[in-house]
Amino acid sequence: MASDMSEAIRQLIYEKGISEDLVLKTIEDALVAAYKKRFGTAENAVVRFKDDYEGVEILSKKTIVEEVDDPVLEIELDEAKE
């Protein structure tokens, strides 16, 4: 069964004639903007759509360090192993 998100994306693409790339880029831009508002930066934000638009993941790329100076951009090795 298709998710509400996948149905909404398909509807925009097929019924409104909006290109798939534009729909996905618009969603990605909105999610990155929300991430930036929450964390103060979006330089490490990664948005990935699951197969067939069944969901989306927002990931945070972090640098592994011995001592964290910026928890938005860095993570200690022990924590990264978890």
Residue 1: its pLDDT value, please?
A: 42
What is the distance between the alpha carbons of residues 40 and 31, in angstroms, rounded to a whole number?
Answer: 13
* Digit-coded pLDDT (tens) for 5-64: 888 888 989 998 999 899 999 999 999 999 999 999 999 999 999 887 788 899 999 999
- State how many domains the chain has: 1
Here the CATH number for the domain that contains residue 65 is 3.30.1480.10
Helix or strand (DSSP H, E) at 32: helix 20-39
Backbone angles phi, psi at 56, to 5 degrees: -140, 145
* 3-state class percentages of the chain: helix first, strand second, coil last, to nearest 5: 50, 20, 30
> From CA 6, how far away is CA 56, in angstroms rounded?
10
Segments forming the whole domain that contains residue 18: 4-81
